[in-house]
């Protein structure tokens, strides 16, 4: 395996007229191609800031971010970014929503539209192409948002609390769903979440951040004795509990 993303000594400060907030300090790690990484940390520690730096959305960071061997600002096409809310437009049909990323990037070729259609078919949304997002369940909307992100063929998916807005039962089902799509499409993924169980059940490694300013507290390699891995199957193993207790103890949320 080789590193697809390299973060070296990342720091980030927000400036306001009154003061300066240091959100990130000296964050260094690499992400391997095909790896699923989760980043956990206390609320407000700087998780979203870190993901925004990786996405090239915050230019004022210090240190270096390299993606596919390039400086992050030049790699927009390599990155797919998904947020907590599905960000689908209600006045557009599912199909028109899925095409949005291609339109914005001026990539709406016949070949890419065919690929988007194939994704909808493979992942069970094709017959809902003409529906409005409001006619879909929360889980289906999240799947549609992922298909829109995949349609531009990014190398790396950045997911910021992508499942947190869903109720617990739906969240379990959507994690199952999205995990298998990401694996099938052989993508690299970085998930930011405050949910330790979600992180462990989906990841090859879990990175624990300290409270603000976020630094890397520890990195846990996660593996399970399972023939076929799925988030749900992971949750039912004895190893899962051990990882959970280790990581939970390290989160600076306990008073
Ligand atoms: P998390 O995602 O871990 O909850 P964030 O990365 O959103 O944390 O925020 C980290 C810190 O930076 C918080 O204290 C937050 O208030 C601050 N912050 C985030 N965005 C901005 C901004 N645009 N301007 C000033 N401060 C910000
Ligand atoms: Mg956040």
Neighbours of 212 (CB within 10 A): 20
Torsions phi, psi for 3 (to 5 deg): -75, 130
Write out pLDDT tens, residues 16-70: 888 999 999 999 999 999 999 999 999 999 999 999 999 888 889 999 999 988 8
Closest C-alpha among 126, 128, 17, 7 to residue 72: 7
Residue among 24, 39, 49 whose CB has most ligand 1 atoms within 8 A, to mutate: 49
Ion ligand 2, residue ranges at CB < 5 A: 47-48
The protein residue whose alpha carbon is closest to atom 12 in ligand 1 is: 23
Write out pLDDT tens, residues 177-233: 899 989 999 999 999 999 999 999 999 999 999 999 999 999 999 999 999 999 999
pLDDT number for residue 1:
60
Cα→Cα distances 200→92, 173, 177, Å: 35, 16, 16
How far, in Å, from the CA of 14 to the mean position of ligand 1?
8
Closest ligand 1 atom, residue 161 Cα: 2
Which pTM value belongs to this model?
A: 0.92
Neighbours of 184 (CB within 10 A): 10
Q: Which of 2-6, 83-87, 97-101, 221-225 has the lowest mean pLDDT?
A: 83-87
75: pLDDT strictly greater than 70: no
């Amino acid at each position: 395996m080789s590193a697809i993303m390299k973060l070296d000594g990342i720091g980030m400060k927000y400036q306001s007229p009154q003061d300066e907030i240091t959100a990130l300090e000296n964050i260094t790690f690499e992400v391997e191609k095909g790896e699923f990484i989760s980043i956990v940390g206390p609320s407000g520690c700087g998780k979203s800031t870190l993901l925004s730096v990786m996405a090239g959305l915050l230019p004022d960071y210090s240190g270096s971010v390299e993606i596919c061997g390039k400086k992050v600002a030049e790699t927009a096409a390599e990155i797919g970014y998904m947020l907590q809310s599905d960000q689908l437009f209600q006045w557009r049909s599912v199909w028109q929503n899925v095409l949005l990323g291609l339109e914005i990037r001026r990539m709406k070729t016949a070949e890419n539209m065919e690929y988007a259609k194939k994704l909808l078919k493979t992942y069970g949304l094709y017959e809902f192409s003409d529906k409005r997002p409001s006619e879909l369940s929360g889980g289906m909307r999240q799947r549609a948002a992922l298909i829109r992100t995949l349609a531009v063929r990014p190398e790396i998916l950045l997911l910021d609390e992508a499942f947190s807005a869903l109720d617990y039962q739906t969240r379990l089902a959507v994690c199952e769903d999205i995990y298998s799509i990401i694996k099938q499409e052989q993508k690299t993924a970085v998930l930011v979440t405050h949910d330790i169980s979600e992180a462990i059940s989906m990841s090859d490694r879990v990175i624990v951040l300290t409270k603000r300013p976020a630094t890397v507290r520890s990195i846990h390699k996660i593996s399970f004795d399972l023939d076929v891995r799925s988030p749900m199957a992971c949750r039912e193993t004895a190893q899962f509990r051990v990882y959970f207790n280790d990581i939970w103890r390290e989160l600076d949320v306990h008073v």
